[in-house]
Amino acid sequence: MLSHYSYDIAHLIGATVLMAGFALLYQRRLQAVLNTFAFQALALAAAAGWQAHVQNAPHLWVTAGIALVFKAILVPFALHWLVKELGIHRAVETALSIGWTMIVGVALVALSIMLVLPVTANAAALTRESLALAMSVVLLGLLMMITRHNAVTQVVGFMALENGLILAAVSAKGMPLVVEISVAFSVLVAMTLFGIFFFRIRERFDSLDLQYLETHRGDR
């Protein structure tokens, strides 16, 4: 039986993830975007940990750990390094001005609340709240992907969308495979990021391309 305070704390952590989503839309500098994303991942880890505690589901601790280590530490660090190495332009180019983006963001939050709350009348209060928050985070991540030109900010938007999904998954009481899903998502992001960005690094630095070496070796 959830006490009033445990419900409030879950609500608070979920709202922090959402606020971090708004903060992502607000930033004008690339490094600030990456730091804000790290903060959102941290809040997500807290949410997963809290749900693990409240639902008595130990596998959610693993999800919290993944969110913490991978998304709050490794990915921002790696992206910072990439931005420096590739000399990517440090200002965020937006398709829509930041003010309008925020207004659309609030409209999306209102939309998701209006959609989710009537439909989930039978579910537990904690789940409904977190689902509404999670859907808002997903929509904000989508908004960020749509309104940003730069590849790095698009990837951050996608990972923010993913944060929303993990938030929804940990809030759904007793859902199995949450760990597997979060691992799958993380692998997707990691491999694609590094597969594609790595190629760009090689292209830029014009470095050791083995194919050319093989041609000149006289071998077939």
Partner 1 sequence: MTMAMLWQVLHILLIVALAPLVTGWVRLVKSRLNGRCGPSPLQPYRDLFRLLQKESVVAHSASWVFRAAPYITFAAIWLAACAVPTFTLNMALVPAADLIAVVALLGLARFWTALAGMDVGTSFGGLGSSREMLIASLAEPAMLMVTFSLSLLSGSTSPARIMMFVLSGNIGLSVSLGLALVALIMVALAETGRIPIDNPATHLELTMVHEAMLLEYSGRHLAMMDMAAMVRLLLFLALIGGVFLPFGIGLPGGGPAQAAVGLAAFLARTFALASLMAVFETSIAKMRVFRYADFLGGALLLGLLATIFHYVSEAV
Partner 2 sequence: MPVLIPEAANPLFWILAFPLGGAGFLAVLPSWRQAAIVNVAISIGTFIGSLALVAHRPEATRLFFIDDFNVYLVLLTAFVGVTTAVFSAAYIGREVRARRLNAMRLRFYHSMYQAFLFTMLLALTANNTGVMWVAIEAATLATVLLVSLYRTKEAIEAAWKYFILCSVGIGLALFGTILVYLAAQPVMGDGPDAMAWTLMIGRAAEFQPDLLNLAFVFLLVGYGTKVGLAPLHAWLPDAHAEGPTPISAVLSGVLLNVALYAILRFKMLIAANGHTLTPGPLMVTMGLSSLFLSAFMLYRRGDIKRLFAYSSIEHMGVITFAFGMGGPVANFAGLLHMTMHLLTKSAVFFAVGIIAQNAGTKHIGDIRGLTVSHPFIGWGFLVSVLAIAGLPPMGVFMSEFLVLSSTFARDPLLAAPLALGLLLAFGALISRASQMAFGTPLARPTLYGRESPMVMTFVYTAFALHIIPVMVAGLYLPPDLVRWFQSVAKMLG
Residues lying near partner 1 in the complex (CB under 8 A): 4-5, 8-9, 11-12, 15, 19, 22, 26, 98-99, 102-103, 105-106, 109-110, 113, 117, 125, 128-129, 132
Q: Exactly one of 111, 180, 204, 205 binds partner 2 (CB under 8 A); which one?
A: 180
Within a 13 Å sphere around the CA of 220, how many CA atoms are in the beta-carbon half?
A: 0
What is the dihedral sign for C-alpha 46, 51, 53, 59? negative
Residues 95-154 that bind partner 2 (CB under 8 A): 115-116, 118-123, 127, 131, 134-135, 138, 142, 145, 151, 154
Interatomic CA distance for residues 35 and 23, integer angstroms: 10
Is 63 one of the binding residues for partner 2 (CB under 8 A)? no
CA distances from 118 to 85, 112, 122 (A): 49, 11, 9
Nearest to 17, CA basis, from 172, 170, 211, 177: 170
Is 181 one of the binding residues for partner 2 (CB under 8 A)? yes
Q: Exactly one of 103, 106, 187, 201 binds partner 2 (CB under 8 A); which one?
A: 187
Nearest to 54, CA basis, from 1, 125, 133, 129: 1
Three-state SS for 216? Answer: helix
CB of 27 to partner 2, least distance (A): 20
Q: Which residues are near partner 2 by CB under 8 A?
A: 115-116, 118-123, 127, 131, 134-135, 138, 142, 145, 151, 154, 158, 161-162, 165, 168-169, 172-177, 180-181, 184-185, 187-188, 191-192, 195-196, 199-200, 210-211, 214-215
